[in-house]
Structures are given as structure tokens and as C-alpha cells.
Chain A
């Protein structure tokens, strides 16, 4: 049997040595073990695909495995709760959807919520999809102007959305606010396809949808897109005009980025942010964007912070105006 004292001394020496190493090399050596990437949505969906593509490319930049872990539930909230509670050492990050988080914060879809301004550190944006308006192909208007005039003549017209917990619902609220029209939103839970079907079946007059989502039904002559709320046209769907070029300054759409827990040291944030930027610029991610019709949009951490502030104010105002601030 070994002398117990010897063992203790040896253990203490090892610990001290390891401690010195950690103290001297931690910042330069990050990451020295695999990074966990939380995905707050089920496997196979749009968010999951983006996260996994980025994870593969981040690995190359970091030299450590990036392990995606699905934590579905609550529109991402389950994963962000876990993120906020994680050790702020950079070894736990999550794909982050600022619009969902802002809705959860002000609508209180659950008693527990995560504050995008306090509980996380933003690492970079990698994707922005544009919300748009699809109407029945037989509708007597083809553009935003015609649609708005029709709505003014027919107040209270019904449009489809995904329910108040979704960004697409607040897109309509913002649309009403900005363009001065009155609408009633009808919830079609789940994918946008249900709402588009209701437009094709003339149950509602319009659906909120991105250009890729409406593409097939629009090519088949069932619905038509009158515009997308983006800065520029989607290169994959060059025929769909923007609201902006039609004279309506309206930009709205779900975006996806990455976040670490609040309190993560600046050096670590920088390493992760650089890896995300490299992943964003990689050929394979750009190829994915092109193939899927999802939009590319990069923001650095500081640009992202400003964006989060803007979203926070915007959604607070929208939700308050709708009388749903809880």
C-alpha cells in the first residue's frame, strides 16, 4: 500500500502544476476541450440545419470538436435557459434567435425567460430570412400599394400567421403599424404551408411567408408574392420585389446567430466570434445558403449587440401596442 501522505502530496503537486498551466495558458489555449452547441429546436428543421453546418466549419477554425446537442422546446427557450445557466467559459454556446427571445421576454410565454440584453453575450449573426406577403394568385392587386389600398377599403380582412408566440405574427402587427391598415390575424400553427394553403383556398386574403416558402405554390399559379420585407432581393428569387423598392420602408424577418452565457471573458468571445465568422465565410456554408434560399447576413458581436437593442425596443413597443405586454 502506498503511503497516504505521499499520495496527497503528489496529488497536490499535480494540482498545483495543472493550476499554473491553466492560469498561464488558459486564454491562449482556448479551446482546449470540445465546445457544446445547444440547438433549441428539433433535429432536421431550418435552425438545426444552420447550426450543424456552422458547427462543422467552426471545428476547423477552433481545432476542437463542436458538438451539437438538441434541446428542443418553447421556441428555443429551453436551450437558452440552459445556456444562461451554463458556466461562462465559452465551452457552451447556443444558436440564438433574437426575435423569438424578445417575444418570450415581453409576451411571457413562460414564467422563466432569458433577457437577450443581460443574460447572454452575442457571438455573431449568420443568417437572415425575409418575411414577405403572399396573396391569392387571382387577387386584383399585384403589389404592396394595391394590397394596402384594398385593405383600406376592406378593414378587418383576415390574414394567416403562426400565433403570437411566433415572429411571423408580429410581422403582421409591424406591417399594420407601419402601413396604417387594420387586419385580423388567424393562427395556423406549424409550418407556413398551412397559412399558404388557406390563401390558395381563399380562406384568408394573405399569408406571411418568405420567398422560398411560397415559391412552389406561386410558380403553380396558386399564390403570388407581392413583396418581401428585405433590404435587397433574394438572389435565389430575383422576381420577388422588396417592399423598399415599392416605396415602403419595411424590413422584417427572422434572423439566426450564436450566443454564449453572460460573463464569458472577452478573449474567449473573440476566439468564438472569429470561428463563427470563418464558418460563415466558408464555401460549404455559402453553398448551403444558395441551395436552400436562406439569406446570408453576418454581424460581428458589437454590431449584434446594437441589433439586439433595436429588436428589444421594437418588440416591446409592438407587444405593448397590441395590449399583450405581460
Chain B
């Protein structure tokens, strides 16, 4: 296997060619733009570029794809901050503080924070990937259904904390779980809520649901406002560099979120989105500034963005080391490797160490480049905000529809988009938060599949969750998390009684 310096050097000859470097730049740029556009996710950024890579060498192909992954994940925060529409699923939590900040005219500060946190998270995860891919992958392989169930449940518990009203948050979360049930059940293939539509057998696709709830609903609301009432806020763009330093002062938050994002990213089939959710939830519980979270607090952006970008490096660990996708994008990347006749996994380290090393280097380069490109282009991006809504919204609408269709080339998904656009609009009307619903939708299948899997594995005995140390400690953490407000109140109440 590769040692650390070898892993960072033997691929250099493959990377330091004009064509590869140019492609790294191109990949970062495309990833950033596609990721930032509402409705076009980083998974899509990678997927649409794969056909373009058929004729390239493997290292050239990945020179576009890996930086696009890193940049796309950061790019998602731009849509989240500027439009309140997460550009990718991983940026859902960034909307919670990024958008309020933008409403105060601090878009520059918010993007600066996001860029710095993403850079930190991305680079740390890249170095971790280089140093520990083989070892970490072997650790992650021991994690089973019980642990996945506990992690997903932890994510659901977070719902209680990300909404101003717990009741409304839980209601929206339950709605999300309900739509997650659509499709044939995993163990018996019985149709559930499919209304005899063959297209719904596999459940609703994530992309059109998310774009509908966030994107199309925003367009509907804008139409209702007659595109005028919301004056574009003059955005402050001078504070970007300052906010770099500001992010650095939140070192504890940065490190905590990066670590969490990495940890969850490494677990196969979880990825940056769930990492960012858990990290935000953690911040909301233990952060020093937890009260302000959700109202435009810098910690919220740092927690979400550091975690989702560290999740990218994390998700690449099982992909490169084991050939197991960490999330949707890495699943697509595995397909790309296969097209070039390469089977990702441990054998690749032995057979093509130079190629593996070049992948590491390109991923690191991509992480640095997206910050440079993002900040250079910031003035241009912010100009978008001053575009009157009557010009902006038709473009957003077009991207929403293209995004919903392009994920699977499915016309049915455009219908799904419209339905969830209406749902999202109605939810705004009755002040029901959308983010918990999306979380319920994402986490529902994870909870269900792994619960059923674990129970089948243990022949129906539910005690298995408590006898495995990792799942047991996570479950205890959930109970503490949920009971802590009650406990705090109880303690305070006693204290007050004593003082009386």
C-alpha cells in the first residue's frame, strides 16, 4: 500500500501536464456553476460530464470529475445563501443561517464563511483520504445495519432542533417520512402509495422532490408577491476576506464539524448531506452560540459547510479503497471508473498506485481552486441578486424543470416536481418548515431498510441494537439529546424552588 508521501507524489507526473491541469480548472468551474444553480446537484454535475470523458484517459476523466464533486458541494451553498434554494442536497442546512444573513445584506460575509469552511473541511478530508483511506475503509466495513439505523435515527432526532416550533418541525418531518414510504416496500415488494403508477414503484426520486419543495415553491411565492415587493437587498461584498478570518476564529466549530462530516462521510451510503445535518444538529445542541443558530449565525454556516465538504473526502474513502459508493456522486464516479476499465477498490492501490495518487492530488487541487474561482467570480454572482426577480425567476424556473428531468431523463419527475412545488408553496403559506420534511424524506429509507435488515439478521430480536457498542452509544445519545430540554427545565425548576 501507499505511504503518505508516496501517495502525494508518485501521481504528480500524471497530474502536471497542461491538459490535466486545464481539465482540473474546467471541472472546478463547471462543478461550481452547476452546484450553485438551484436544482442542479453535484451528482448531476458529475453525471452529465461522464459522457464527455469517454474518449479521455482515466486521469484526464477524473481531472474533471473529482474537482467538480468538490466544487459542486461548495457551490450548493451559493444557491442556499443567495436564493434560499440549496444548490445541492448537502447545502440544505446552509439555508438556515445563510439566507437570513443574506437578507441582512451580508451575502458576502456568508459566502466568505462558507468558502473558508468548505476549504478547511475539504482539505482536511483530502489529507485524511490520502493518509487513511485503506485503514478507514477496513474500519467502515465492520459497520452494519444496526449502526446505520442508529445514525439515521440520530439524524431524525435533529429535526426537533432545526425548526423554530418543535411541533411544526415534527409535523413536517413526519410528512417527509410519509413520502419516503412511497414505492414498493424493500422486503416484500408490496406496492405502497403508488396509485398504480409503475413510475412510483421505486419511490419518489430525491432530486425533483427537493427542487420542488425549495425551488419551484420559491418561484410560486415570488409570483404571488408579483415579483416586486421584495426589494433586492444591496449586498455587502467587502467583508469576504474578513469573514475568512472570522471562520478561522470559529476553530472549535470548524474542527468539530469537519470531524463529524468526515466520520459520517466515510460510512458507505451516507455522504455529505447527512454529515451536514448531524453536524448542524450537534452545533445546535452543544455550540457556544446555539441560541442564535437559525437566525443568521456564522456558526450555522460553518457547521454545515465544513461538514459537507469534509464529507466529500470522506465519501471518497470507501469508494477508492473498497469500491463502495459513499453517496450518490461517488456511485456515479464508480461508474466512470468502470467505463475506463478500472475497478475501484483495494486492488487499484496495488495495480495503479500512480493513478490513485493522481486522484488524491486532483481532489486537493479542486478544493483549492473552487475557493479561488468562487471568490474571483463573487462580484458576478452577487450581481445576480440585484437582478430584478421578474428576470431571475423565469431562469430559476427553467433550471428547476431541467434539473428535475435531467437527473434520470424522466418526464414523470417533472410531474413530481410540480406537485412538490405546490406542496412547498402551501407549506410556506401555513408556515410549516420545509427542511425537516426533506430530512424525513432522506432519512426515512435509511431508517426503514436498516431497521428491517437488522431485525432479519437477528431473527427478530430487537436487543441487537443495544448489544453492539456503537449503535448502543448512539441510541443513548439520542435519548439524552431528546430529553435534555426536559432535564434542564427540571433542574432549573428545582433550583428555583430551592431559592424560594
Residue positions of A touching B, CB distance < 8 A: 42-45, 49, 69-75, 77-78, 81, 107, 109-112, 156, 158, 163-165, 184, 186-191, 193-194, 196-198, 200-201, 203-204, 212, 215-217, 219-222, 291-292, 324
Q: A187-B452, A216-B345 are in contact. List 19 more A-B contacts (CB 8 A).
A: A44-B47, A45-B335, A49-B339, A71-B410, A71-B411, A72-B409, A74-B198, A77-B198, A110-B197, A111-B196, A158-B456, A158-B457, A164-B187, A165-B184, A186-B453, A186-B456, A200-B141, A217-B322, A217-B346
Q: Which residues of A contact B408 (CB under 8 A)?
A: 42-43, 70, 72
Closest chain-A Cβ to B232's Cβ sits at a distance in Å of 37
Q: Which residues of A contact B348 (CB under 8 A)?
A: 216
Q: Is B50 an interface residue (CB 8 A)?
A: yes
For B, the interface residue count at a CB cutoff of 8 angstroms equals: 54
For the complex, what is the distance from the CA of A291 to the CA of B342, rounded to whole Å? Answer: 9
Closest chain-A Cβ to B440's Cβ sits at a distance in Å of 18
Residue of A49, A69, A219 ringed by the most chain B CB atoms within 10 A: A219
Number of inter-chain CB pairs below 8 Å: 145
Are the C-beta atoms of A217 and B198 separated by less than 8 Å?
A: no
Q: Which residues of B contact A156 (CB under 8 A)?
A: 459
For the complex, what is the distance from the CA of A294 to the CA of B449, rounded to whole Å? Answer: 29
Q: Is B191 an interface residue (CB 8 A)?
A: yes
Are the C-beta atoms of A187 and B187 separated by less than 8 Å?
A: yes
Are the C-beta atoms of A110 and B201 separated by less than 8 Å?
A: yes
Q: Which residues of B contact A219 (CB under 8 A)?
A: 345-347, 350
Are the C-beta atoms of A220 and B201 separated by less than 8 Å?
A: no
Are the C-beta atoms of A81 and B325 separated by less than 8 Å?
A: no
Closest chain-A Cβ to B307's Cβ sits at a distance in Å of 23
Q: Is B200 an interface residue (CB 8 A)?
A: yes
User: CB within 8 A of B191: which of A72, A111, A324?
Assistant: A111
Are the C-beta atoms of B346 and A220 separated by less than 8 Å?
A: yes
9 A-B contacts (beta carbon < 8 Å): A44-B332, A70-B409, A74-B202, A109-B191, A163-B187, A186-B453, A186-B457, A201-B144, A216-B323
Q: Which residues of A contact B457 (CB under 8 A)?
A: 158, 186, 203-204
Q: Is B306 an interface residue (CB 8 A)?
A: no
Q: Which residues of B contact A78 (CB under 8 A)?
A: 198-199, 412
Contact A163:B201 (CB < 8 A) given known A72-B408, A203-B457, A220-B346:
no
Q: Which residues of A contact B144 (CB under 8 A)?
A: 198, 201, 203
Q: Which residues of B contact A203 (CB under 8 A)?
A: 144-145, 457
For the complex, what is the distance from the CA of A184 to the CA of B323, rounded to whole Å? Answer: 26
Closest chain-B Cβ to A127's Cβ sits at a distance in Å of 15
- In the complex, chain B residues 194-217 whose Cβ is within 8 Å of any chain A Cβ: 194, 196-202
User: CB within 8 A of B409: which of A42, A112, A164?
Assistant: A42
Q: Is B431 an interface residue (CB 8 A)?
A: no
Are the C-beta atoms of A216 and B346 separated by less than 8 Å?
A: yes
Are the C-beta atoms of B198 and A73 separated by less than 8 Å?
A: yes
Are the C-beta atoms of A164 and B188 separated by less than 8 Å?
A: yes
Q: Which residues of B contact A43 (CB under 8 A)?
A: 47, 408-409
Q: Is B13 an interface residue (CB 8 A)?
A: no
For the complex, what is the distance from the CA of A291 to the CA of B200, rounded to whole Å? Answer: 34
Q: Which residues of B contact A74 (CB under 8 A)?
A: 198-202
Are the C-beta atoms of B141 and A75 separated by less than 8 Å?
A: no
Q: Is B383 an interface residue (CB 8 A)?
A: no
Are the C-beta atoms of A70 and B410 separated by less than 8 Å?
A: yes
Q: Which residues of A contact B145 (CB under 8 A)?
A: 203
Closest chain-B Cβ to A47's Cβ sits at a distance in Å of 12
Are the C-beta atoms of B331 and A197 separated by less than 8 Å?
A: no
For the complex, what is the distance from the CA of A198 to the CA of B454, rounded to whole Å? Answer: 12
Closest A residue to B411 using CB positions: A71
Q: Which residues of A contact B424 (CB under 8 A)?
A: none
Are the C-beta atoms of B322 and A197 separated by less than 8 Å?
A: yes
Are the C-beta atoms of A110 and B323 separated by less than 8 Å?
A: no
Closest A residue to B325 using CB positions: A193
